[in-house]
Amino acid sequence: MLRQRRFGPFFLTQFLGAANDNLFKFAFTVLVTYHLQVSWLPAQMAGLVITGLFILPFVLLSATAGQWADKHDKAFIMRAVKLLEVGIMVLAGIGFWLELVPLLLGCVFLMGLHSTLFGPVKYAYLPQHLSERELTGGNGMVEMGTFVAILLGNVTGGLLMAMPDVGRQLVGASCLGVAVLGWLSARAIPASPSSDPGLQINWNPVSETWRNLKLAAEYPSVFRSLLGISWMWFFGAVFLAQFPSFARDVLGGDEHVASLLLVVFSVGIAVGSLLCETFSHRHVEIGLVPIGAVGMTVFAFDLYLASHGLQHGADAALLGVGEFIAQPAHWRVMADLALLAFSAGLYSVPMYALIQLRAQPSHRARIIAANNILNALFM
């Protein structure tokens, strides 16, 4: 499918968008955690504040974004959203260059807005261009791509920000470059006609959010899948937001160790997502969900046990990646993270495919918007 125009440009566009979100967010988190101390933004709270600002637009505007995606051509919306991303990254570059934390926090909110507008289009696009036998594989590819993009974005952001003297400038330039590449790839996405061109937009986000949730509740299996996916994001957001402070304060590692934890987590979920197609024999197989849920629970609890006994003195030097890996006690931490993430891939992909398969086509983007609203509330 990657060689076909119906999937390849779309996959690259969403991949670059997810990479840029995380390059920017993680570089900013590392900046205020390790390099730029701000009295009103404590280092231990930075990850949570940045994550919270990023998901706020999902709560406020997902309902409107779902209506736009059902009413207009999805390829047109994706191109417009990617152009918005270019403008946001120009502002972010200024913020990094001048170390303007309030401006960077504003850009976090705007990137959340960019992702809010892109989310319903992203998942409503797939069932328009893929058959039922391709849907699990397509969703597995998108989920794998999303978490590999998270991995690359976070690792790149952490490594660039760690470079002395020029880190901030390189992050700003990289964010802008990735945004431009995303806009160029979006221009090759084929037309995806409106599923409900006569839809009247309701601009009241509160009433439309409630309407979308009631619409999703009309399909019990779909609504339960929305709740299940939202629980997974609640679960995962805690890990992703806390990696920098977990690496530093619990494991005693530097920013490169935080990046290593993200590598392990992202590779695990990518492998689990890709294997869903094999395990489900190219059909939507919901039986993988409880297996994934049990795995997430067991390995999260063992991660607690593995890290509970680790002590790091407040005055001790932070460990680099080599020193961190050299301690056998840390191998269990990494194994738990990898297996937890693998289980999350098995858990989430079948539910995304089920939503797309069973939701009414004319309301599909609004059902996805309801999913994004619930995801944001849970996170």
8-193+203-378: CATH number? 1.20.1250.20
What is the percentage of the chain residues whose pLDDT exceeds 70?
Answer: 97
Say how far apart CA 358 and CA 223 lie, in whole Å.
11
- Give me the DSSP letters along 271-324: HHHHHHHHHHTTS--TTHHHHHHHHHHHHHHHHHHHHHT----TTSPPB-HHHH
φ, ψ for residue 41, nearest 5 deg: -135, 85
The 10s digit of each residue's pLDDT in 284-341 is 777 888 999 999 999 999 999 988 877 665 667 888 888 889 888 899 999 999 999 9
Token match 């989920």: residue?
Answer: 143
pTM recorded for the entire structure: 0.75
The 10s digit of each residue's pLDDT in 106-156 is 999 999 999 999 988 888 888 888 887 888 788 888 888 887 888 888 888
Instruction: Categorize the per-residue pLDDT at 40 as very low, low, confident or very high, splitting at 50, 70 and 90.
Output: confident
pLDDT on residue 351:
86
Half-sphere exposure of 43 (CA within 13 A, CB side): 16
